[in-house]
Structure 1
């Protein structure tokens, strides 16, 4: 079954602890959330082979989820696993480009060469900045009767599953679900930073209801990048006119690019907005290397203050996705 206490913890980072060894080590973060203490347990090594995690970080993160996230007060906020709100989904939420993921060893000698080093870089910055806040997405545990086993505060309290939580294999398929992925997002006075983690064993095309791996999709390469046979990035969303000049109804458009060496029949392809409203593309063939500018079909809604567009092929598999935060009037956004 999906995660049962999914949500986001907001608070001030007080301390961190690196765990070595090979028995499911974690990077531990001590968070003070308005006087209530929490431990954020971040996996840095998988219990399933291949063991090294996939990692990417965005040091200037922008996404339409941020304005609502910034309004949260310190503490744990339960989230409903549905689109259009604060819940995260690595596949459907267009949070980052999966081709930026890299495998990262958990902990090894030397500077800036393992996952603990990468997390230290951001977390220690947050420890030293009283204005910084950590937004940790995952599943809550506690409060417990015993003190916390790492930092000693009582009662024990925390959040874990700070990683992708769908497309699992083996015994972990029980945790599969959509709109329940974990992440670390840090706010500083001048920027947002986001850290995303996934297991190499997880799939990047999953069922829209269960989050289980879809059949017939070839496994990704060791860095989680699309393998030959996956549809990712065959057609790219390269631009959108979200806020045309003039009164409603506005003539919004999207521009698509065929990145392959062959023509692609777009019959049965669809577009989705941030709320996952879906509408078909016109029936046409997009020549190799060519672009096409299409009207945004109803009932899709592209908000001027932030939104998302996702492109699905005729089999319903994600091909590309983008997100934006602002749309100046009359300006075409490029992605």
Structure 2
């Protein structure tokens, strides 16, 4: 089990490893200190000259005088994407009140704290509405379509506002930072030893008038886990990648082009299908719908063709909506 600590600190600098600097296991490095009364001096250009270059394994990631939160933004698994959730009204969550008076610095999460609501659990903790998350790649061309795009505004705002951050994760062996700032349950079999309940990582940001919660999970992690050990429930196995998708089946005897087709939910949000999308005869394909979230209290999703005409649709109620990750299939 990944033993999780929480740290209360002040964020002061950040660095992202893009697809050129580290295509295999990149991180967001969020640098912070825990002495608000006497903030340390540091060199913000310590790593600047290495940006956009191939990764140098001999280059230290640390900045003298600061701690570092190493936040994964790509998986080493075959499914390399992460699921991303942000909640800008986190002050309404009971854990916010419990953390507000915490002293600056590292604090272990003991079993009693987990039961008292001071540990994070993506499945049991009501931390965010899962249907509003996005499954995103690490770094691809375009705007607002990868993890760097969505994380950068959050950490930049926290630094500029001199906000207080609460980072949940595992302390480095060197004790100069924290990692595992992501979901720590429902892992693939190679990482089951890190599973645990109320042992998830995450980033909470306290501003003067509101809180923001930022939560990350590997897309390959299960959304249903055992209440005792946090291991994935595999009958059936449902992952975050599965939750954010709709499956289409072409039951005709000819190929169907889906160019300019789109999904439409009951509140008017839409998701365009990929430009060159098509389904061969009798083929089945899964399409992600990050811009067209489906409510877990019931919803209607409609498939529209290139002329905006309804091709098919399906509705479901509250009971079906509670079955997290169940695909909706048009037939």
Normalising by structure 2, we get a TM-score of 0.62
Whether 2:106 is the aligned partner of 1:73: answer no
Change (3 A) 1:27 1:69: same
TM superposition shift of 1:119:
1.4
Is the CA contact 1:15–1:29 (under 8 Å) kept in the aligned structure 2? yes
Is the CA contact 1:10–1:136 (under 8 Å) kept in the aligned structure 2? yes
Deviations 1:223-274 (A, max 9, x none): 634999xxxxxxxxxxxxxxxxxxxxxxxxxxxx9859xxxxxxxxxxxxxx
TM superposition shift of 1:110:
3.8
Whether 2:85 is the aligned partner of 1:56: answer yes
Is the CA contact 2:204–2:211 (under 8 Å) kept in the aligned structure 1? yes
Is the CA contact 1:98–1:225 (under 8 Å) kept in the aligned structure 2? no
Give the Cα–Cα distance (whole angstroms) in 2 for the partners of residues 37 and 76 of structure 1. 14
Deviations 1:180-203 (A, max 9, x none): 001111011111011111111111
Name the count of aligned residue pairs: 226
Aligned with residue 117 of structure 1, among 143, 149, 154: 149
Corresponding residue SS for 2:131: helix
Whether 2:66 is the aligned partner of 1:37: answer yes
- The answer to which structure has the higher strand fraction is 1
- The answer to which structure has the higher helix fraction is 2
Aligned with residue 170 of structure 1, among 178, 184, 189: 189
Gaps of 5+ in 2: 40-64, 248-295, 300-315, 325-331
Give the Cα–Cα distance (whole angstroms) in 2 for the partners of residues 94 and 221 of structure 1. 16
TM superposition shift of 1:127:
1.4
Whether 2:217 is the aligned partner of 1:198: answer yes
Aligned with residue 18 of structure 1, among 16, 19, 22: 16
Corresponding residue SS for 1:126: helix
Whether 2:133 is the aligned partner of 1:133: answer no
Corresponding residue SS for 1:65: helix
Gaps of 5+ in 1: 145-156, 229-256, 261-287, 292-317, 321-335
Corresponding residue SS for 1:118: helix
Is the CA contact 2:83–2:240 (under 8 Å) kept in the aligned structure 1? no
Residue 214 of structure 1 corresponds to 233
Alignment of 1:1-335 (within 5 A): 2-4=1-3, 6-20=4-18, 21-34=22-35, 37-61=66-90, 62-81=92-111, 82-130=114-162, 132-143=163-174, 157-220=176-239, 222=241, 224-225=243-244, 259=298
Is the CA contact 1:8–1:136 (under 8 Å) kept in the aligned structure 2? yes
Normalising by structure 1, we get a TM-score of 0.61
